[in-house]
A = this chain, B = another copy of it.
Amino acid sequence: MSVPADLVLYGYFRSSAVFRVRIALNLKGLKPELRFVHLRKDGGQHHSEAYKRVNPQQLVPALISGGHTIGQSLAIIEYLDEVAPQPPLLPKDAIAKARVRQIALGVACDIHPLPNLRVLQYLKNRLGADEEALLEWQRHWIGEGFAALERLLAGDPATGKFCHGDSPTLADICLIPQMTNARRVELELAPYPTLLRIEEAAYRLPAFVAARPENQPDAE
């Protein structure tokens, strides 16, 4: 496997799924060409015919590598970890790998899909939810998910400085962007001391800092 030289990343600064991929690319030292898809302009540029041809799922991120398009942040990150194995984002041991994926999916499946732009638009436009109800919805699902992750991580000897051991993995790559979203809706984070401690460790690494939404060329 050789590191692909022709990577192109389609993204949006605020998307936390793209934030995940940026962290992975930074940790691997890969610098793709960046293309920007504004999710709020022009009725959502991801809905355009042009972008549909790039990614039929019409979501960001999408990564082009060797002429192939890959969608879904977790599929992209697992791909990068296979073609550019250093530093590894998953442990070698099968049980440890499963634990890392379980934590990552605890964010990617149990939290992230719910406090999401398209879902908020549905709640507002079709169920008449007001601003306060939308905030409450976001806080509820992030809070539920964080409580589950805190229970999973706290007191487990496999938890180290990061979610698994002392170096960042796919689990941290999913967790940290979700914490940025939690702050955006002013969720009280004190009940999740383990998550806060891991976030602090992550932001000691330039790969996480450089990936933050406000540090992107398309940030507003």
Contacts and interface: CB of A to CB of B under 8 A. Distances in A.
Interface of A: 1, 52, 56-59, 65-66, 68, 70-72, 74-76, 78-79, 82-83, 94-95, 97-99, 101-102, 105-106, 108-110, 112-114, 119, 122-123, 126-127, 129, 133, 136-137, 140, 148-149, 151-152
B152 A95 contact: no
A94 B83 contact: yes
Nearest to A128: B127
B110 A98 contact: no
B109 A71 contact: no
A168 to B, nearest CB: 18
- How many copies of this chain sit in the oligomeric assembly? 2
A102 B127 contact: no
A56 B152 contact: yes
B122 A127 contact: no
Given A101-B72, A108-B109, A94 B79 contact: yes
B127 A98 contact: no
A57 B152 contact: yes
Contact of A110 (B59, B83, B95): B59
B79 A95 contact: yes
